[in-house]
Amino acid sequence: MEKYKPVMSFDEDAAEVYDDGAQRGDEMATVAFLEQLARGGPTLELAIGTGRIALPLTARGIRVDGIDFSSAMVAKLRAKPGGAQIAVTMGDFAVVAVPGTYRLIYVVFNTLFNLLTQDEQVRCFENVADHLTDDGSFVVEAFVPAFLHRLRNDQYVDAEAIRVDEVRLDVLRHDMATQMIEESHVSLSPQECA
Ligand SMILES: C[S@@+](CC[C@H](N)C(=O)[O-])C[C@H]1O[C@@H](n2cnc3c(N)ncnc32)[C@H](O)[C@@H]1O
């Protein structure tokens, strides 16, 4: 298999369907929490994607800038109302420099885990520290790996969606020694099989 790089997960095909599955129902609570910490802003979203959180936060009058390395995801953001006004720096959020400082920097939806090594994660925290105001906050939203008890032979297959015309499977393998997971979302439908 070709060596995996996180950017491969966010190509044009992925960006095309991202918004169909990304709404989790906790967006408004997340935005309210971030707005409170932002104290008027400005804020920076690491891995801004298609603007799931940035756009509603902007709608509350908070300036949100973003970083992302996927031009396909950012094109989706740009196509939405208000999306073209958001300043996005293209690059790796672990290292890319942005102008200015922020009262709030945040990374949500487990995206810190797209930095696959401890070194990259440390560089990210250093980068954030360089761009926070003295009283600023850094918010990381990430899952606690609760899947461990579901593993058999260090892997599982989970039915994410079962519909008449499509089945979506979550396929995961865990390497305890490296603390890495490999995970794929597989969609099966009559059209794709034809
Ligand atoms: C799961 S999406 C989350 C998007 C958005 N934050 C949200 O909550 O919907 C992950 C995003 O992170 C971006 N991304 C992943 N790793 C990155 C990196 N190292 N540097 C910049 N962007 C990255 C991807 O391009 C994608 O847009």
Q: In angstroms, what is the span from residue 190 Cα to ligand 1's centroid?
A: 30
Whether 111 lines ligand 1, by a CB cut-off of 6 Å, is yes
List pLDDT tens digits, range 43-63. 999 999 999 999 999 999 999
What's residue 194's pLDDT? 44
List pLDDT tens digits, range 98-139. 999 999 999 999 999 999 999 999 999 999 999 999 999 999
For residue 5, the number of C-alpha atoms closer than 13 Å in the C-beta half-sphere is 7
Q: Does the domain formed by 6-140 have CATH 3.40.50.150?
A: yes
- Rounded mean pLDDT, 174-188: 90
> Strand pairing of 64-68 and 43-46?
parallel
- HEC string for 156-186: EEEEEEECCCCEEEEEEEEECCCCEEEEEEE
Q: In angstroms, what is the span from residue 165 Cα to ligand 1's centroid?
A: 29
List the chain domain ranges. Answer: 6-140, 147-193
pTM of the predicted structure, to 2 decimals: 0.88
Cα 46–chain centre separation: 8
Whether 88 lines ligand 1, by a CB cut-off of 6 Å, is no
Closest-lying ligand 1 atom to the alpha carbon of residue 52: 9
